[in-house]
């Protein structure tokens, strides 16, 4: 059960070095700059400030995802910058958010980034589970606040997203680049990317936890421990840093320290629906289906409207030969999935062809 959780990351992997306190303004401006070709392609109805802001916001969304506009398609990786997303017509939640905000601001709309710290996107690569913070766009129009989100079908989200700074948004871009380069075997590139992220957002517990993972993989256990400790100073209940601390101390033959962090971790996991879900996934994979049901149900009590929880519960019931219970859980999952799909509005990119 713990083998997977102890390899938990949050959005990316990273380096331990101290980050500068100042925000590199030029980095933020470059990341949010609109390419001239995109600026020239913006429809007049989006730019016309005589039109109601809420109407212009909807027209901007239509322009970005409609076949008669940019026809953007969802693709989880790689995370592209605005210029690359425009050229390739491929976005994930982060690149879509960056492009939407940049265009909205160019049109005179009040737009900003939002993040759900307790959102969960999952990807398992090389026996490592990646847990990701979800980003979307917020906009103020006609006295109301709206959220524009491209990633509904890929993301589990708990509480409402909170507004974040441009520095944190661009830091997330570098953070995504770090994990992608690490997965490609480019340790030096991952290190440079995470240093750029920390230069923008040195108060992020997630980044420091990720920094420890990169150092750990490089065989620098002391540096990894310092990074995890920094993360826990910033956020005492950070699941990733606690999980990584447990794994680090166990690997170093330090059971007393591991047990201390493990107790903290279990207290946090007991009230975290995503941790309960991940524990259930691990138990189900090992064949412990009855135990998995306990944790799936606990996750559902904590976050009732997440379809993936219900879908996974249905699968466990099927494995146990309980079709009635499986049907009930599957029906609830389908209802919730239909609601999410209706809110997404953007299609997936086609799979790449051979070669």
9 domain-assigned: yes
Residues 213 and 259 in one domain: yes
pLDDT score for 146 = 86
pLDDT score for 159 = 53
Q: Which two tokens stand for residue 274?
A: 């995503």
Residues 279 and 213 in one domain: no
Domain count within the chain: 2
Residue ranges of the chain whose pLDDT lies below 70? 1-23, 117-132, 151-160, 340-348, 351-355
65 domain-assigned: yes
pLDDT in tens, 153-190: 444 444 567 899 999 999 999 989 998 888 888 989 99
* Cα–Cα distance for residue pair 38/262, rounded to 1 Å: 50
Residues 193 and 330 in one domain: no
Residues 134 and 204 in one domain: yes
349 domain-assigned: no
Final residue in a domain of this structure, among 224, 243, 270:
270
146 forms beta bridges with 139
Residues 181 and 239 in one domain: yes
151 domain-assigned: yes
pLDDT score for 20 = 41
Q: Residue 149 gets which letter from DSSP? A: -
Q: Which two tokens stand for residue 150?
A: 């491209």
β-pairing verdict for 162-164 and 128-141? unpaired
pLDDT score for 115 = 87
354 domain-assigned: no
Residues 84 and 10 in one domain: yes
* Cα–Cα distance for residue pair 28/335, rounded to 1 Å: 40
Residues 116 and 226 in one domain: yes
CA–CA distances in Å: residue 307 to residues 28, 133, 292, 303: 36, 18, 16, 10
106 domain-assigned: yes
Contacts (Cβ under 8 Å, ≥6 apart) of 10: 130, 131, 132, 133, 206, 209, 210, 238, 239, 240
101 domain-assigned: yes
Residues 70 and 211 in one domain: yes
pLDDT score for 352 = 60
Residues 243 and 97 in one domain: yes
353 domain-assigned: no
Final residue in a domain of this structure, among 216, 237, 270:
270
Contacts (Cβ under 8 Å, ≥6 apart) of 81: 31, 95, 98, 173
- Vertex 306 angle, CA 303 and 307, to 5°: 145
* Cα–Cα distance for residue pair 247/353, rounded to 1 Å: 40
Q: Which two tokens stand for residue 4?
A: 């997977």
pLDDT in tens, 56-78: 999 999 999 999 999 999 888 89
Candidates 337, 336, 289; CA nearest to 313 is: 289
pTM reported for the whole predicted model: 0.79
Residues 244 and 286 in one domain: no
Residues 244 and 292 in one domain: no
Residues 261 and 139 in one domain: yes
Q: Residue 269 gets which letter from DSSP? A: H
Give the H or E element holding residue 98.
helix 93-106
pLDDT score for 79 = 93
Residue 48, by phi and psi: left (phi above 0), alpha (psi -120 to 50) or beta? beta
Residue span of the structural domain in which 97 resides? 2-270
**What is the domain-level CATH number for residue 120?**
1.25.40.10
Final residue in a domain of this structure, among 239, 270, 301:
270
């Amino acid at each position: 059960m713990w083998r997977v959780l102890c390899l938990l990351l949050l959005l990316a992997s990273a380096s331990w070095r101290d980050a500068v306190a100042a925000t590199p303004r030029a980095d933020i401006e470059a990341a949010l700059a609109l390419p001239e070709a995109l600026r020239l392609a913006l429809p007049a109805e989006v730019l016309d400030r005589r039109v109601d802001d809420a109407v212009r916001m909807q027209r901007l969304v239509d322009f970005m995802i409609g076949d008669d506009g940019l026809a953007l398609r969802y693709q989880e990786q790689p995370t592209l910058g605005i210029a690359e997303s425009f050229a390739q017509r491929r976005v994930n939640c982060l690149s879509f958010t960056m492009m939407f905000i940049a265009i909205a601001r160019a049109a005179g709309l009040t737009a900003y980034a939002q993040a759900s710290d307790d959102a969960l996107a999952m990807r398992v690569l090389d026996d490592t589970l990646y847990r990701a913070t979800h980003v979307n766009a917020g906009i103020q129009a006609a006295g109301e606040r709206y959220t524009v989100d491209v990633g509904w079908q890929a993301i589990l989200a708990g509480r409402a997203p909170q507004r974040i700074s441009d520095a944190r948004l661009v830091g997330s871009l570098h953070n995504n680049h770090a994990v992608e380069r690490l997965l490609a075997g480019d340790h030096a590139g991952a290190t440079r990317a995470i240093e750029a992220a920390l230069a923008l957002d040195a108060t992020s517990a997630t980044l420091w936890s990720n920094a420890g993972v990169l150092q750990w993989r490089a065989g620098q256990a002391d540096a990894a421990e310092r990074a995890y400790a920094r993360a826990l100073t910033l956020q005492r209940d950070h699941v990733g840093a606690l999980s990584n601390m447990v794994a680090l101390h166990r690997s170093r033959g330090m059971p007393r320290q591991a047990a201390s962090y493990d107790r903290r971790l279990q207290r946090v996991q007991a009230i975290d629906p995503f941790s309960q879900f991940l524990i259930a996934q691990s138990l189900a994979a090992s064949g412990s289906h009855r135990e998995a049901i306990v944790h799936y149900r606990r996750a559902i009590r904590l976050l009732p409207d997440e379809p993936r929880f219900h879908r996974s519960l249905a699968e466990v019931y099927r494995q146990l030969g309980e079709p009635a219970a499986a049907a009930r859980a599957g029906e609830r999952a389908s209802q919730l999935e239909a609601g999410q799909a209706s809110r997404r509005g953007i299609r997936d990119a086609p799979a790449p062809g051979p070669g």
